Amino acid sequence: MKLLPIFATCAALVFAPLAIAEHHADHGAMKQQTVVDIAVGNPDFSTLVAALKAAGLVDTLSGAGPFTVFAPSNAAFAKLPAGTLDNLLKPENKAQLTAILTYHVVAGKVLAADVVKLSSAKTVQGGEVAISVNGSAVMVDGANVVSTDIVGSNGVIHVIDSVIMPK
């Protein structure tokens, strides 16, 4: 009967990837991405990635963490006054850029369900961001949280629509 080989081939095509994935999961070969890997892989974070590189924070945020990153999108960086970003990316302004970027990071993995219970959070920079909730809208220092719970192996990213500045 000719259907048996076709069935066997179809079964192999369906079940082989599952077996391979299970094999990799058992041996740790399938590694979850860090928050930096996620940002690098998302074109909406290309400006953030460039800033992280300029500040020398890529290795830090690729570390064990966990970190909660309130990540400004490219559109958020575009809202800055003309020339601000170019000026911050200059080597002589690395300390200021680092302060701004670490103001967007909270130690620990704080998922959206926990963020909405907070009124503020201490940042890695040392300052505190104000958190407010109005219905389903969440704001961090006046920036709208537009996407939440992008989970990585070393933390979580919440996307914001503005760059927030330390006091």
Structure-token pair, residue 162: 């503005």
User: What does the domain layout of the chain look like in residue ranges?
Assistant: 1-30, 32-160
Which of the 8 DSSP states describes residue 30? S
Q: Picking from 12-26, 37-51, 79-93, 101-115, which range would have the lowest pLDDT averaged per residue? A: 12-26
- Report the predicted TM-score, pTM, of the whole model to 2 decimal places: 0.79
Q: CA-to-CA distance for 21 and 128, rounded, in angstroms? A: 42
Q: Picking from 26-35, 89-98, 157-166, which range would have the lowest pLDDT averaged per residue? A: 26-35
Q: Is the omega angle on the peptide bond into residue 66 within 30 degrees of 0, that is, cis?
A: yes
User: At residue 56, does pLDDT exceed 60?
Assistant: yes
pLDDT above 70 covers what percent of the chain? 81
| Nearby residues of 134 by Cβ (< 8 Å), 6 or more positions away | none
pLDDT in tens, 57-107: 998 888 888 999 999 999 999 999 999 999 999 999 999 999 999 999 999
What is 32-160's CATH topology? FAS1 domain (2.30.180)
